[in-house]
A and B are shown apart, each in its own frame.
Chain A
Amino acid sequence: MSSMMRGTTDNGPLLPEPDEDGAPFWEFAARGELRVQACGLCRELRFPPRPCCPRCQSFDNEWQRMSGRGRIWSYVLPHPPLLPAYAARSPYNVVVVELAEAPRIRLVGNLVAAPGADIDSVDPEQLYIGAPVRVTFARLPGGFTVPRWLLGATS
């Protein structure tokens, strides 16, 4: 057991460590907005964010607001061994959501039973590939706001 614990530097939930390109995503999330980086010139959406457009090489960018609707592309239910904060919630779900506006853009997240509910709040039986979902936002203990997902296309 001791070897499993070595290297653990954080016993709480992991917080995003944004880089310069990713920072706006988290700033918009804190305002309750799901926005994806797009090219300022050719308007192509891209994710994860980066300095320039892989299609036209422009360094202009903008952050387009998404409807917050999508479908579950896939999901997993992690079990131990896990970091302590996650082991305590296991089995929880992690989903990959493909966005309605741009199915090629898929966000990793968690399905929750209600805004603010925990990552183990949904019965795994309710999860299925293709399930319609909509975004909500949760403020984590460390002050970060992250997108979460609710089942169903409408509120």
Chain B
Amino acid sequence: MATRSTTPAPPPARRGSPALKDATAIVGIGQTPFARRLEDSEKSLACRAILAALDDAGIPPSQVDAFASYTMEETDEVEIAKSIGAGDVTFFARTGFGGGASCATVAHLATAIATGQASVGVAWRSRKRGSGPRPWRNTRTQLPTPAQWSRPYGLIRPVDEIAMLARRYMHEYGATRDHFFNVARACRRHAARNPAAVMHGRPLTRETYMTSRWISEPLCLYDNCLETDGALACVLVSADRARDCRRSPVYVHSAAQGLPAQHHGMVNYWNGDPLTGPSWTAARQLWKTADFGPADIDVAQIYDAFTPLIPLSLEGYGFCGRGEGAAFTEDGALERGGRLPLNTGGGGLSEAYVHGFNLITEGVRQLRGTSTAQVPGASTCLVTAGEGVPTSALLLRS
């Protein structure tokens, strides 16, 4: 089949390979400023991020016909569509479980576009988590079913649930607070290069980390993500159409969700090995449908609501063996120039915590070659959603 233009075509999908592979591409990204407090409403921030992403793609809002977001997103598709001036919308979907939904929004758009249900998709997340309420304080909206087994005992916040896994992980595999600090430092050093990051210009020393206040022992303040106001969005189209867009396409090579057998909620203390979380399930599906493996990943954006999620996810996604995730963080491995640079915009720990959507946009920047902590020649990127909760993940390639 002849190529229509002189721009390079993506590799043709191999016979018998999944229909999703490289069939769609992210062609636009957009965001608002990030801060502890922004004046705009969540709805207004959402519209700003989406319009910025469409402008980045060079696609008029009237051509948008698909939306995907999180069930925790406060602004629905109806409000967004009529505000930005979308046309007739033929696909919309939402995914649950907080930050576990981030990559699933892109996955659902990719599926819709690849199967002909829509042609221009927008995924977004807008959240005033910096100036707004902490969800765990609203004890009435927490699901009674899982919460009855943990909340009455004072295991209230996500950090408490993850700290419980962290303590066990330290006990079983010899992980130390220094390993968690390695994660926090990598994100902070990347934020130092990113003017958009909330923690830009705020270095983190080992002494500051080690002497900071506890939040839930064994986790301290700097093991926790930021509390941020902000919004982000991205635009997806078919690979064919992507070749005509303003920016170089970033292809969705593989996508997966993960809800493991007998899983519970935020964490699962009741299965055989609670340290084997949803990332293991998502990873099996993700790699099964990909042309490359963990060793071929140039840069990663791994969900970092809490530092221990990084070693657990490194194991889950196959970058090392069970129990080796902590040691993997040593010798600057996660920093620019290391063996797996991750969260190169600063991540949830040091750029902004917007339920992981900034990890998707930073993955796109890396594959466009425009990151502020660019990995030279990066052509493959893993992006993950929240570990612990039912999750999702993407493999992106240039």
Q: A-side interface residues toward B, CB under 8 Å?
A: 3-10, 13-19, 21-22, 26, 47-48, 54, 73-79, 81-83, 86, 89, 91-92, 94, 96, 104-110, 119, 124, 129, 140, 144, 146
> Is B213 on the interface with A (CB-CB < 8 A)?
yes
With A7-B137, A78-B160, A104-B270 in contact, is A110–B154 under 8 Å at CB?
Answer: yes
Chain A residues whose C-beta falls within 8 Å of the C-beta of B270 in the assembled complex: 47-48, 104-106
* Most chain B CB neighbours (cut-off 10 Å) among A16, A81, A92: A16
B326 to chain A, nearest CB (A): 16
Contact A17 B149 (CB under 8 A): no
Interface stretch, picked from B39-47, B114-122, B164-172, B317-325, is: B164-172
> Is B152 on the interface with A (CB-CB < 8 A)?
yes
Contact A146 B167 (CB under 8 A): no
Chain A residues whose C-beta falls within 8 Å of the C-beta of B132 in the assembled complex: 3, 6
> How far is B301's CA from A11's CA once the two chains are assembled, in angstroms?
38
Instruction: State how many residues of chain B have any CB contact under 8 Å with chain A.
Output: 43
A141 to chain B, nearest CB (A): 12
A82 to chain B, nearest CB (A): 7
* Most chain B CB neighbours (cut-off 10 Å) among A15, A89, A96: A96
Contact B137 A76 (CB under 8 A): no
Contact A19 B145 (CB under 8 A): yes
Q: B-side interface residues toward A, CB under 8 Å?
A: 131-135, 137-140, 144-157, 160, 163-165, 167-168, 171, 213-218, 262, 264, 269-272, 274
A20 to chain B, nearest CB (A): 10
Which of B139, B149, B272 interacts with A9 by CB under 8 Å? B139
With A8-B138, A54-B262 in contact, is A77–B214 under 8 Å at CB?
Answer: yes
Which of B148, B154, B171 interacts with A78 by CB under 8 Å? B154
With A6-B137, A17-B147, A75-B164 in contact, is A110–B217 under 8 Å at CB?
Answer: no
Q: Which 7 A-B pairs have the closest CB atoms?
A: A7-B133, A17-B144, A77-B217, A7-B138, A74-B168, A16-B148, A76-B163
